[in-house]
């Protein structure tokens, strides 16, 4: 059960209308390719049980989670016509669970192919799946030698009709990175041998690399949630997540007074300090200590002192007292503070900020289902 709005240290607002609009933009950008959605890690922290149906209402029918149990949890929230693909494939011995829960695996190794093949033989029917090959990222998917072994045994293609041949790009947000073309070439070389099989290569950023990269299905995640897909370019997506923290209390400090753990901030003159109920346990990274910015009515307010587990301290000198009452809200992520800006300041990426957001927020879903 989620905390009540009035009791929570912060309110996380998820704009399902903006999410749907982002989906439409990405689908258009993807040309003739189908547009799926990565909803792993609870839809990047925003709630797969709400995000999934909103995307399904836009016509999305290809959903990607990372873990089997994420797929099991998502299944009841999606129409029967929606396919849920589990990116990590079956954990050893868990193949049967995919059948019982109506999920499809992404097979990433010869071992996973053998396990899925054995189940198909036992059930005496073909069991479709996505097969992922490694095109240069060395993370998931069949390495070249395993791909050869897979293609060399005709039984596998009979028992496991590939729904898509899939791979994943390592550097797609950097449009001029030579790795993109290199991975595309490796992927296409393998694809030549399975021309009847649809293909899928692009994540959010990959969609913006052009039609050569889009194939038959694209798999955006981050861009759906408003994260910028192209490094150094304007972000065409709408923000989906906003985070507003509550002021817990306010005090005046004098020159020489200190703030927070390790007294990493000391005042050189009289300052007003407000404490806000969000901390590193809520994903508000400690690396933002003495660096972060929050906004009050569009005005930038610096974070001072070290980020605590449950709170941060901000310098609100000059802000009207009635705007600083206990319970008043300050903007941590929102129109003045895009998630990518927060991430840059914390030395990370928007993905990590969103997926780290934690479960103590009161969540509000607006703009849709």
Ligand X SMILES: *Cc1c(COP(=O)(O)O)cnc(C)c1O
Q: Per rule CB under 6 A, is residue 308 in the interface with ligand X?
A: no
Residue 112 interacts with ligand X (CB under 6 A)? no
The number of beta carbons lying within 10 Å of the beta carbon of residue 198 is 17
Is-catalytic flag, 40? yes
Q: Which residue is nearest to ligand X (CB)?
A: 221
Name residue 293's beta-bridge partners. 302
Known catalytic membership, residue 265: no
Residue pair 146/110 in contact (Cβ under 8 Å)? The answer is yes
Pick one of 180, 203, 306, 355: the residue that binds ligand X (CB under 6 A).
203
Q: Is 171 in the site for ligand X (CB under 6 A)?
A: no
Q: Taking the complex as a whole, how short is the minimal distance between the CB of residue 86 and ligand X, in angstroms?
A: 11
Nearest-5° angle of CA 38, CA 138, CA 66?
Answer: 25
Sole window of 4-12, 13-21, 220-228, 295-303 interacting with ligand X (rule: CB under 6 A): 220-228
List alpha helices for 124-273, DSSP H. Answer: 144-152, 154-159, 178-191, 204-207
Q: Which of 71, 90, 220, 350 binds ligand X (CB under 6 A)?
A: 220
C-beta of 88: minimal distance to ligand X in Å?
9
Beta bridge partners of 87: none
Please tell me whether residue 62 binds ligand X under the rule CB under 6 A: no
Alpha helices of 175-279 — where are they, by DSSP H? Answer: 178-191, 204-207
- Asked if residue 251 belongs to a known ligand binding site, the reply is no
Under rule CB under 6 A, residue 277 binds ligand X? no
State which of residues 89, 90, 221, 279 lies at the interface with ligand X (CB under 6 A): 221
CA nearest 150: which of 116, 174, 120, 173?
116
The count of other CB atoms within 10 Å of the CB of residue 39 is 29
Q: With contacts defined by CB under 6 A, name the span among 27-35, 109-117, 189-197, 200-208 that binds ligand X.
A: 200-208
Site string (21-40) toward ligand X, x via CB under 6 A: -----------------x-x
Q: Report if residue 363 touches ligand X, rule: CB under 6 A.
A: no
The length of the chain is 369
Q: What is the greatest pairwise CA distance in the chain?
A: 79
Strand order in the sheet with 83-86: 37-38, 62-65, 83-86, 104-107, 129-132, 162-166, 199-200
Is residue 159 close enough to count as binding ligand X by CB under 6 A? no
Q: Is the dihedral of CA 165, 170, 174, 178 positive or negative?
A: negative
Q: Taking a C-beta distance cutoff of 8 angstroms, is the pair 17, 226 a contact?
A: no
Residue 191 CB, nearest distance to ligand X (Å)?
Answer: 17
Instruction: Pick the catalytic residue from 23, 40, 265, 361.
Output: 40
Residues binding ligand X (CB under 6 A): 38, 40, 87, 168, 203-205, 219-223
């Amino acid at each position: 059960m989620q905390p009540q709005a009035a009791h929570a240290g912060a309110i996380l607002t998820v704009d399902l209308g903006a999410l749907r609009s982002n989906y439409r933009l990405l689908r258009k950008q993807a040309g003739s390719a189908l547009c799926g959605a990565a909803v792993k890690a609870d839809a990047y922290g925003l709630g797969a049980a709400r995000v999934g149906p909103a995307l399904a209402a836009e016509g999305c029918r290809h959903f990607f989670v990372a873990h089997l149990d994420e797929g099991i949890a998502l299944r009841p929230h999606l129409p029967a016509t929606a396919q849920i693909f589990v990116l990590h494939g079956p954990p050893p011995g868990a193949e049967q669970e995919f059948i019982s829960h109506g999920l499809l695996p992404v097979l990433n190794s010869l071992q996973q192919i053998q396990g899925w093949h054995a189940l198909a033989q036992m059930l005496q029917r073909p069991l479709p799946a996505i097969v992922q090959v490694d095109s240069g990222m060395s993370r998931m998917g069949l390495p070249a030698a395993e791909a050869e072994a897979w293609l060399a045994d005709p039984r596998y293609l009979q028992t496991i009709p590939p729904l898509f041949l899939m791979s994943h790009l390592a550097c797609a947000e950097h449009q001029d990175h030579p790795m993109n073309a290199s991975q595309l070439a490796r992927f296409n070389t393998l694809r030549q041998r399975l021309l009847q099989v649809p293909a899928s290569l692009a994540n959010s950023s990959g969609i913006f690399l052009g039609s050569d990269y889009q194939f038959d299905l694209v798999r955006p995640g981050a861009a759906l949630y408003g994260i910028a897909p192209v490094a150094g370019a304007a972000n065409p997506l709408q923000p989906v997540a906003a985070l507003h923290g509550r002021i817990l209390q306010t005090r005046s400090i004098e020159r020489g007074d200190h703030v927070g753990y390790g007294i990493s901030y000391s005042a050189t003159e009289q300052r007003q300090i407000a404490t806000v109920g969000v901390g590193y346990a809520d994903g508000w990274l400690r690396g933002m200590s003495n660096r972060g910015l929050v906004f009050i009515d569009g005005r930038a307010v610096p974070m001072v002192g070290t980020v605590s587990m449950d709170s941060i301290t901000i310098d609100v000198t000059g802000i009207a007292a009635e705007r600083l009452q206990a319970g008043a809200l300050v903007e941590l992520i929102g129109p003045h503070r895009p998630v990518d800006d927060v991430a840059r300041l914390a030395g990370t990426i928007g993905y990590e900020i969103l997926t780290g957001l934690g479960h103590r927020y009161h969540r509000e879903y607006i703009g849709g289902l």
